Amino acid sequence: MKNEELLAQVIEKARQWLTPAYDEETRRAVQRMMDQEDKAELIDSFYKDLEFGTGGLRGIMGAGTNRMNIYTVGAATQGLSNYLKKNFAHLPEIKVAIGHDCRNNSRLFAESSAGIFAANGIKVYLFEDLRPTPELSFVIRELGCQSGIILTASHNPKEYNGYKAYWDDGSQVVEPHDVNIIEEVKRVKPEAIRFNGPKERIAILGEEMDRKFIEKVKSVSLSPDLVKKYHDLKIVYTPIHGTGVKLIPMALRAFGFTNLTNVPEQDVVSGDFPTVISPNPEEPAAMEMAIRKAGEIGADVVMASDPDADRIGVAVKNDKGEYIIVNGNQTALLFIYYLITKMRENGSMAGNEFVVKTIVTTEMIAEIARRNQVEYFDVYTGFKYIAEVIRENEGTKKYIGGGEESFGFMPADFVRDKDAVTSCALMAEITAWAKSKGKSLFELLQDIYLEYGYSKEKMKYVVRKGQTGAEEIRQIMARFRGNPPQQLGGSPLEWVKDYATLVQKNLLTGEEKPIDQKTTSDVLQFFTQDGTKISVRPSGTEPKIKFYFEVKGELASRSQFDAAEARADEKIDAIMSELGL
């Protein structure tokens, strides 16, 4: 499409937002963009509609069809309401729960959504203030709701907000409901959004529900005796300005830990995230202040949560006395290793247990499960797929835990999404368990590698923003599909798994086999003869294409750990160079 045609279409769409159907503040913002000589902001705000995808909505806040505002949020809520009324027409009352994080406009979007649900005859449970995403998931199940939403953009920069939809089992919606809701949302016209429903249909949730949630969190503890013995181990925790500020310290104290140190500057709840560029515990800069505090007091473990408290970041002291961030694969590894090992110690294994990981997460988890005769499942990225496995095996098999490389873990099935509240409490318990064996968390991680084999993982992403970004990402995926590398890191490429076709092919023998997944996904995986795994996928929530690397190595003793790390880093860097990254 020529630039003149695009601009003409954008202006036509923008003019509709100048009508009385939209509030005065919105109309002023649109007029300001139209009056600017540079039309880049106007084009980006209106060149497409912000899509309600399988993960809900996520986008930059502002006026326009491609922005997060009460009208795009309203259309999503109206479409979800329409679908719920069709799907649960047999129920005397449909119920939903609503939560939100610390972001600017999150409360506005939550209250607007509550009014729309209420206007559609739906009973609403709205939290009195910001709450962690895992608590919203818990509440859906606890109150027997048919759905729920949370207003959050997770760890995205401050300009963003988002909207995630949940189903009656407390997980984010999956097929067929996700695609059906999308179709309903697409049909909603601005004039059909029913704002401002009756207040009596909206019930406010507060501290009583917090206490019920924390009681459930406390039930996950496997070593209460060790927590009692090491109750005063030194813990530094930061919510990075987000929703974990209240409930994560509450969970740690409920477990029995008494020596918590906070980072006062980051306890300030703010959607501007004033102390960080990105409120993401995956980014070292976000944990810098907490690590500095840990150095001052000699902390045993440092933990952080992202703005909606579903992701957990962990830092530990290495053998040189430096605090290093444990990556998401290693965090999941520590959890799975502890849960399986401790359950065996406690004699609580019944033989029907299972764990779940995502396909881009370390294969070490699968190795630990295999050697311990625990069933494991590989699923697509997203905890809704982990929740789907739990749902399918409910009543016959016992869920132990599940995680993914992006700093997310779900230690229990009373929450059906990643859960930093329970994870922080459990990680503190793992620290106490390691201490009881005369080890630090860092040494415990090294011992896992010594027992099960060494691997190193890294992730790199390429950002492609704006109007042309999506097309560039499509072209990158097409190039890798049509012309996969012949070797990587000095090892021949053996298997290529293409989840878009659900076919895996051995490039050395020509053998083809089906991939055991229910649905397709735009993911490619390359496996070399020496055990290297590379995964490539576009992000479902951000304008990025992500590359995940895992290489194997040799580790015979703790003293060789640094050398093994250096060799693995060198190999990953070489592979990145081969791929043009």
Residues noted as catalytic: 154
Q: In whole angstroms, give the CA distance from residue 235 to residue 222.
A: 19
Burial class (CB in 10 A: 0-12, 13-18, 19+), 187: exposed
The CB density around residue 200, as the number of other CB atoms within 10 Å, is 8
Q: CA–CA separation, 82 vs 487, rounded Å?
A: 51
Question: How far is Cα 352 from Cα 540, in angstroms, rounded to an integer?
Answer: 33
- Six-digit token pair at 366? 């699968």
358 three-class SS: strand
Instruction: Give CA–CA dist 277/293, Å, rounded.
Output: 19
Determine the Cα–Cα distance for residues 338 and 354; give it in Å rounded to an integer: 14
* Assigned token pair, 219: 């039930």
How far apart CA 322 and CA 240 sit, in angstroms, is 21
Look-up of token digits 């695609």: 179
The residues near 65 (Cβ < 8 Å, ≥ 6 apart) are: 13, 17, 45, 46, 48, 49, 50, 72
Residues shown for the chain: 581
Count of Cβ atoms closer than 10 Å to residue 107 Cβ: 18
Angle between helices 328-346 and 420-436 (to 10 degrees): 60
Q: Is 455 helix (H, G, I), strand (E, B) or coil?
A: strand
Burial of 346 (0-12, 13-18, 19+ CB in 10 A): exposed
Helical spans, DSSP H, in 120-243? 133-142, 177-187, 207-218, 224-229
| 521 Cβ neighbours under 8 A, 6+ residues apart | 380, 499, 500, 537
Q: Which amino acid is at 441?
A: L
**In angstroms, rounded to a whole number, what is the distance separating the alpha carbons of residues 335 and 424?**
11
For residues 140 and 414, the answer to whether their CB atoms sit within 8 Å is no
Assign residue 241 a region: left if phi > 0, alpha if psi is -120 to 50, beta otherwise?
A: left
DSSP codes, 467-514: HHHHHHHHHHHHHHHHS--SEETTEEEEEEEETTTTEEEETTT--EEE
